[in-house]
Amino acid sequence: MQINGITIDDTFAEAFNMRATRVIITAINPTWALHAARAMTGFATSVIGCGVEAGIERELNSDETPDGRPGISVLLFAMGSKVLMQQLETRMGQCILTCPTAAAFAGIESEDMISLGRHLRYFGDGYQISKVIGGKRYWRIPIMEGEFLTEETTGMVRAIGGGNFLVLGKSQAQVLAACEAAIEAMKQVPNVIMPFPGGIVRSGSKVGSKYPKMFASTNDAFCPTLKGLVKSELDDETQCVMEIVVNGLTFDDIKAAMKAGLEAACSLGSEAGISRISAGNYGGKLGPHHFKLHEVLK
């Protein structure tokens, strides 16, 4: 398959099961909502080292939030429910409770409801008060600024992580430009996040290493500087490879985001220095969800 002179490998991205939740963060203005959201989703690129993968899903207008203020929708993903709950509570306490004017609300309903402010209320040292509105419990926690308002719980759902594709090209600048175009398109798709910095990964990994203590190591088959030293996947002209990883609430959400990103990257054409699109997989051994590039683009 070729699109605008760019070869699309007949391969698939391999993804795995995760647990996810959504939190709606509001504040006095968009700037402070964004401060809180960025803090909450910091150091959350990969479960390999961060425990949780998190990111900003989208900005919300005041008519889309529970308290009528500007807001941000945040998604958090983890490999298990226990880790997700621990990470959510830690980040709520350190990043949202501390942020001027911020409040937090449930962003998703589910049979599995987990703590959002249920335990954080104890920071009020006995002076916290609650109120049930429309069947939902909210907590008002006294703080030096005034009060911190948070909903008691939010939903936890089954989700998928690890959808991905690789962009191969002639130079760092050209590959980065294609990936940036892909990310802008993917941001328009709901229910997904691209958790790495700016949504782009420059250091894609393989499972395992020559060093026993390392769970993952550099994907040498796609490293331009290792051509001639390893069994390389790259031709002589390819000097840069970058990866985009996407997590989503459902298979179709990830598929839609990948399609949008692939089409945006390919729209630049081979004249922009992009030669191939590929994907990361481990022969189907890592996860049960396979996103075949040719099928995604159909």
Q: What is the CATH number of the domain that holds 169?
A: 3.30.70.520
Indicate the number of domains in the chain: 2
Q: Residue 268 — very low, low, confident or very high, per pLDDT cuts 50/70/90? A: very high
- 123 and 172 in a single domain? The answer is no
CA 225 vs CA 17, 179, 232, 233: distances in Å: 33, 21, 10, 12
- 192 and 145 in a single domain? The answer is no
Strand partners, 54: 76
Boundary residue ending a domain (157, 192, 225): 157
Boundary residue ending a domain (157, 177, 203): 157
- Please tell me what DSSP assigns to residue 226: G
Q: Would you state the pLDDT for residue 74?
A: 98
Q: How far apart are the first and last CA of the chain?
A: 11
Residue appearing with tokens 């420059």: 202
Segment 188-198 shows an average pLDDT of 98
Measure the CA–CA gap between 179 and 201, rounded to whole angstroms: 10
- 245 and 141 in a single domain? The answer is no
pTM for the model? 0.95
Q: Would you state the pLDDT for residue 42?
A: 98
- 53 and 92 in a single domain? The answer is yes
Q: What is the mean pLDDT of the chain?
A: 97
- 167 and 94 in a single domain? The answer is no
Q: Within 10 A of 243 (CB to CB), how many other CB atoms are there? A: 22
Give the 3-state secondary structure of residue 257: helix
Q: How far is CA 129 from the centre of its chain?
A: 34
Boundary residue ending a domain (140, 157, 174): 157
Measure the CA–CA gap between 76 and 87, rounded to whole angstroms: 9
Q: Is the pLDDT of residue 247 over 90?
A: yes
- 125 and 245 in a single domain? The answer is no
- 163 and 293 in a single domain? The answer is yes
Measure the CA–CA gap between 102 and 52, rounded to whole angstroms: 22
- 137 and 50 in a single domain? The answer is yes
Domain that holds residue 39: 19-157
- 167 and 290 in a single domain? The answer is yes
φ, ψ (nearest 5 deg) of residue 199:
85, 0
Q: Which is nearest to 205 in space by CA: 176, 164, 239? A: 164
- 124 and 249 in a single domain? The answer is no
Structure tokens at 48: 């390999």
Q: How far is CA 54 from the centre of its chain?
A: 5
> Which of 15-19, 173-177, 239-243, 282-286 shows the lowest per-residue confidence on average (mean pLDDT)?
282-286
